[in-house]
Structure 1
Amino acid sequence: MKNLEIVVKKKLFSLDFDREKPVALAFSGGLDSTVLLNILLQIVDNKKLRAIYVCHNLRPKEELAKEILLIKKTCQIMRVRLTLVYIREGAIAEYAKQARCGIEAAARRFRYHALARTAQRWNISTIITAHHADDQIETFLMRLLRGGNLGALAGISPSRAIDKTSGVRVVRPLLQIERRELYNYAEKKGLEWSEDSTNEETIFLRNKIRHSLIPYLDSEFPSWKCSVIGYAPQIRNTQAFLHTCAEKHMHAMQKEYRGRPVLDLNLFKKREAVIRLEILKNFLQNFIYKHHIGYHALQNLDRAISDGALKAEAGGYEFDLTGGFLQFKGRARFSSAPSTRGISFLLDSYREDQYFLKVQAPGKYECGAFKLVVAYDSSNTNIPGLAHIVIDESEKIASVKIPISFPFVFRNKKEGDIIYTEAGIKGIDAIIKKSKIPEGTRHLVPLLEDKYGIAAVLISTFVKGSTLNAVCRNPSLGENGEIVYILLLMKGDHIINV
């Protein structure tokens, strides 16, 4: 058991892991993440560790309820803080239909977006996942069978940025450890874990590979896994070198035409075919699609450029090739490509977390990602059921004593909002930026507003340990209002006081 803990610890530190900083574990309650949680507690202070469970709402409710109970119990025993994230029932199926992808792929997109948003919320920059060697093998075989570009065969990366904007990265320290080793560790430690019933359903390609193809290869070619695993880092290193070369050449070719980025095709044609395809992929991802670009679409576009065509269509989009430049024109008029390639349905769905609540009187309210308590005195004794509220001091809260008029509005900030403070008029966008709140969550920062204007900006729910609790307006502007105590907590978390 000690050997496994030492291997994981060494791997984490080789990936520039800083155990002094807060970290999150993607915790499903299954064997892999339960073992990893146990090992992490030998490396990281439990006060710096947060488990994040994402409920996709794809399995039977009874099974999910049992799993969540077990997850809460495990975190309570191990004295680890836990955040539960619930995805709206039906949202993943809707996305899969619009994006024309499988349920598994859609669930993965939602899961990683939820993990990134939750990490940002708690000022966490590293998420650890429990992907292991068996996952790596299955991913390699899946991508080999599906076909596509060579980079896909690099498999699961040990460390990568979760996206381009959040500043959150994913670290995977178990990729060289087989599942049987994790199982032996869990058995010896007496750990309890849940089993996902969908893992047995062979309608999914991964499960077909796991239950049919891999057992056959194991029986006929006993050493095949070692051979396959060896390819992944070789391909990953080759792709990293190719990407660096392509980026260097792309910067030399990139121009601006009518305020939009274009590629100089005379310089482009001088490069080798493999470099050209990588340049096209990088250019289109950075400035046009912001999505995965199919290998065949890149080939079609490169072929049109090489043939001297004046225009081209690739991946359902039109390109103008006149004037010696590659210019993006927009969606092809009669394209059958999925409309979601041009927009991010997933990100749009998450922008629906805008919120607005009208508060008529003191009481306890829920709105958006928050719980709001409004009282005439700080003890909450005048509101039934609030006298014994327990607050974990490590959690993000904001509290403010302020004169305000009923009814008032609790809402998220909007672009252009201002507040009249004792120091003068302040732009709320500037206040939030100065507070170093992550860009992806700035639109969620809560405000209090009554008939006299914005009364307060509640900062500390988004910046842990901030010395600035709230920015309030000049008291004289609300002097006709009633003095109230307002307590704001994040909701949607199962908080275990340890």
Structure 2
Amino acid sequence: MGWVQRPRFVRGQQPDKCSPLHERDRYDRGVADASMIAASHPFVKTVATALRRHCAVPAGARLVVATSGGADSVALLRALAVLAGRRSWRLDLVVGHVQHGVRAEAESEAVFVSDLAICLGLPFERRDLDPRAAGDTTNQEARLRRARYAALAEMADAVDAEFVATAHHGDDQLETLLMRMLRGASVRGLGGMRWRRRIAPGAVIRLVRPMLSVDRAEGVAFLEQLGQPWREDVTNADVSRLRARLRRDVVPVLQALQPRVTARAAELCDHMRGLSRVLDDTTDALAQEMVGVSEGRIIIDRDRSRRIGRVLLSEVIRVAVLKAGARPDRVGRRNLDRVVRAVLDRRGGCRQFALNAGVMLTVTRDTIEIEPGGAH
């Protein structure tokens, strides 16, 4: 999916007016109030703690702040703008906006974000996606998400930023955890969204999420105290999407049963990521012992595989098929379970399993053989 780069606004540039709704005075009041209200606000303190402790963002770092114009991203931008002016942080911020072009309100939201950036005295970067490149509606949301991250990575590279900050928060984490449970996730999947990761495989730029320990209501309360407006994305209320349905029908019930459910979900995800790291270390050690290569094929001894247990066997096979070129996002627990069942039973003969990216796995009487994509 392509994008079009729009002109940049330079730091300190002032507009004739702040938005199509003539909210200049309200913005200016909010910016002035930030020095008094936001400096000691609990929301800002929580974001600052997460930024340092979990996201490992150092003082003086340059960040692209992904800003859609919604309450979550505007709250993050306003909090980071407060930190940017502190001697202990000295952050260099660039406001980044990706215009998807799939909704009638998209252009007014882009203008809103650019005006907010100018009123905060921050540089603005914009990329316009080509909606025609998304193809049909099947998995369109996933394709747009990949294109959005690619555009944000390109922005960060263009301005020499080390980080891209997004406004995913604790409620998003809870919804993600529920979605993965419903779809059948492994320990790795139940770790949810990470505080910090590479924005793309092999990339230097890091994606950070300093709002994972706060919920949506805390961000909204922060903006209301500042008198800072935001924009609503009507697609967030589309309950044909699983996330929106969970947000409307399931999360309120969980919150009524346990008011701290968002914090509990965040703690669980942190714990599962810790377990995942232990599992990865154990798996890597076993793979070094068990996985070999012969005539271009990856070979694993079947008898040895039966003795390490179902969970570790699944992980060793996952390491091997990734080594053969399979896509990580297509090698889930459900894909591997049928292979593991075949390895653990006592049947002989040859059984083949076509995995993604052309990778072929064969279970024989004595071995598990994995042929890389394109080799057959």
Asked if structure 1 preserves the Cα contact closer than 8 Å seen for 2:83 and 2:91, the reply is no
Alignment match, 2:62? 22
8 A Cα contact 2:100 2:128, kept in partner: yes
Matched, 1:327 2:370: yes
Change (3 A) 1:232 1:304: same
Question: Is 1:257 aligned with 2:294?
Answer: yes
How far apart are 1:117 and its partner, in Å? 3.0
CA deviation after TM superposition for structure 1 residue 151, in Å: 2.5
1:226 deviates by: 4.3
- Which letter does structure 1 place at the counterpart of 2:170? A
From 303, 308, 311, give the equivalent of 1:274. Answer: 311
Higher helix share: 2
Alignment of 1:322-361 (within 5 A): 324-328=367-371, 330=373
SS of 1:42's partner is helix
Q: 1:86 aligns with which of 120, 123, 128?
A: 128
Name the structure 2 match of 1:247: 284
TM-score, L = length of structure 1: 0.60
Whichever of the two has the greater Rg, that structure is: 1
- Which residue, 265, 286, 297 being the options, matches 2:335? 297
CA distance in 2, matches of 1:220, 1:21: 41
Specify the SS of the correspondent of 1:150: coil
The correspondence for 1:66, drawn from 83, 93, 108, is 108
- Which runs of 5 or more residues in structure 2 are unaligned? 1-37
Taking the aligned partners of 1:66 and 1:40, their CA distance within structure 2 comes to: 23
Q: Does 1:41 align with 2:81?
A: yes
Give the letter aligned to residue 75 of structure 1: A
Q: Deviations over 1:362-391 (max 9, x none)?
A: xxxxxxxxxxxxxxxxxxxxxxxxxxxxxx
Residues 252/88 of structure 1: CA separation in 2 closer, same or farther (3 Å cut): same
Cα pair distance change 1:224/1:24, threshold 3 Å: closer
- Cα distance in 2 for partners of 1:118, 1:315 equals 34
Flag the 1:279–1:123 CA change in 2: closer, same or farther, 3 A: farther
For residues 60-459 of structure 1, what are the structure 2 equivalents within 5 Å? 60=104, 63-94=105-136, 97=138, 102-219=139-256, 222-259=259-296, 261-265=298-302, 267-292=304-329, 293-307=331-345, 308-315=348-355, 318-321=360-363, 324-328=367-371, 330=373
SS state at 2:336 partner = helix
- In 2, distance between residues paired with 1:22 and 1:165? 20
Comparing 255-264 and 201-210, the one that deviates more: 255-264
**Partners of 1:204 and 1:328 in 2: how far apart?**
37
In the aligned structure 2, how far is the partner of 1:59 from the partner of 1:282? 41
Partner residue in 1 for 2:96 = 52
What is the CA–CA distance in structure 2 between the aligned matches of 1:121 and 1:267, rounded to whole Å? 50
Task: Give the drift of 1:44.
Answer: 2.8
Change in Cα spacing, 1:244 to 1:32, as seen in structure 2 (3 Å) is: same
Distance in 2, matches of 1:321 and 1:52, equals 49
Write the distance in 2 (CA, Å) between the matches of 1:33 and 1:216. Answer: 26
- Which of the pair has the greater relative contact order for Cα pairs under 8 Å at 6+ separation? 2
Deviations 1:146-165 (A, max 9, x none): 22323322222111222221
RMSD over aligned CA atoms reads 2.5
Summarize the Cα distance change of 1:93–1:149 in structure 2 as closer, same or farther, 3 Å threshold: farther
Q: Which structure dedicates a bigger proportion of its chain to strand?
A: 1
The 8 Å contact of residues 268 and 276 in structure 1, kept in 2 or not, is answered as yes
Q: d(CA) in 1 for partners of 2:59 and 2:134?
A: 34
* Distance change >3 Å, CA 247–CA 113, structure 1 → 2: farther
Counterpart amino acid of residue 78 in structure 2: N
Distance 1:138 1:72 in 2: 30
Identity of matched residues, % = 26
CA distance in 2, matches of 1:252, 1:117: 40
CA, structure 1 residues 47+275, in 2 after alignment: closer, same or farther (shift >3 Å)? closer
Tell me if 1:12 matches 2:51.
yes
Distance in structure 1 (CA, Å) of the matches to 2:270 and 2:373: 37
Structure 2: how far apart are the matches of 1:329 and 1:239?
A: 26
- Deviation track 1:390-439 (CA, whole Å, cap 9, x = no partner) reads xxxxxxxxxxxxxxxxxxxxxxxxxxxxxxxxxxxxxxxxxxxxxxxxxx
CA, structure 1 residues 19+213, in 2 after alignment: closer, same or farther (shift >3 Å)? Answer: same
Paired with 1:301 and 1:117, the residues of 2 have a C-alpha distance of 39
Show CA shifts across 1:62-87 (max 9, x none): x1121011011001011111211111
What's the CA shift for 1:131?
0.8
Asked whether the 8 Å contact 1:254–1:263 carries over to 2, the reply is yes
Does the C-alpha gap of structure 1 residues 259 and 300 become closer, same or farther in structure 2, counting only changes over 3 Å?
Answer: same
TM-score of the two chains, using structure 2 as the length reference: 0.78
Q: Are the equivalent residues in 1 in contact too, given 2:64–2:156 (CA < 8 A)?
A: yes
Give 1:277 shift.
0.8
Query: Post-superposition shift, 1:314?
Result: 4.7
Q: Distance in 2 between matches of 1:309 and 1:238?
A: 36
Flag structure 1 segments of 5+ consecutive residues without an equivalent: 334-498
Letter in 1 for 2:114: K
C-alpha distance in structure 2 between counterparts of 1:287 and 1:329, whole Å: 4
CA deviation after TM superposition for structure 1 residue 275, in Å: 1.0
CA drift of 1:6 comes to: 1.8
Matched residues in 2 for 1:251 and 1:92: separation?
41
Paired positions, count: 325
Q: Which moved more, 1:73-82 or 1:47-56?
A: 47-56
